[in-house]
Structure 1
Amino acid sequence: MSLKGYKLPQGNEGFDLTPMIDVVFLLIVFFMTVASALTTNKLDLKLAVAEESAIPKDIKDRFTVSVDAEGKFFFGVQELSEQELSSRLAKVVEGNTNIKIVVRAGRMAEHQHVNKILTVCAQNGINDIIFATYQSEL
């Protein structure tokens, strides 16, 4: 078999990168959307500043309970009464006994409201609690 006189097809000899670029742009849009959704699920509170605060290494798998200056309780971003908060935590404890809580209290929140959160946690057998604060600039 002779290849004499056979000409190779002329044209683009590289890869078509258009589909790969489309996929990369879609991934970028996806991660930007997820990142913005994660940051918007936080209640806007002015937390206290602690000089000796430390950033915990692992805060995933923690539920967030917040109290604002008016004494309103929040589970995540959902506002609840003290009784509703207690029943919600009781339901969470049913499925898992190793519940971890982050307490976010506004600077102007009275301690009696923070104490109510701690009491509700204790009544439901939750003892792994950390407090969210801003880290000091010192």
Structure 2
Amino acid sequence: MPHFEIHVADVDAAKAFYSGLFGWSFTPMPGGEEIGYHLIEGEKIGAGNALTAGLMARTGPAPDAGSGVRGGTMTFDVSDCDASYNWALSNGGAEALPPQDYPGIGRCAYIEDGQGNIVGMIAPTKEGN
């Protein structure tokens, strides 16, 4: 089963950020208390448990803000790319790539999450538009 993890310096701040941005909820993983590991749940993770995710305390220093992509980039569907992007900027995120239209794909943007990670969002093109 595919799984991704988000490594953060401030678990509580990251939980608030991703809860607001994507509507995720977080459950401490049994046995993961020592490393600050939380299982992520929410519609934007994957239907039918096709994808699982975790949030955990970073084990080293965070990458410098504004540096290039630092690992895998996660991109999630949103209903309104511009609204989600603006929410992120108003809630501790920073611009990585502003919203842009990609014909036949959708409207996409990337933000920094305030924890040294870059995350993408896409409002997919509707069929027939």
Verify same fold: TM over 0.5.
no
Return the TM-score normalized by structure 2: 0.27
Answer 1 or 2: higher relative contact order, Cα 8 Å, separation at least 6: 1
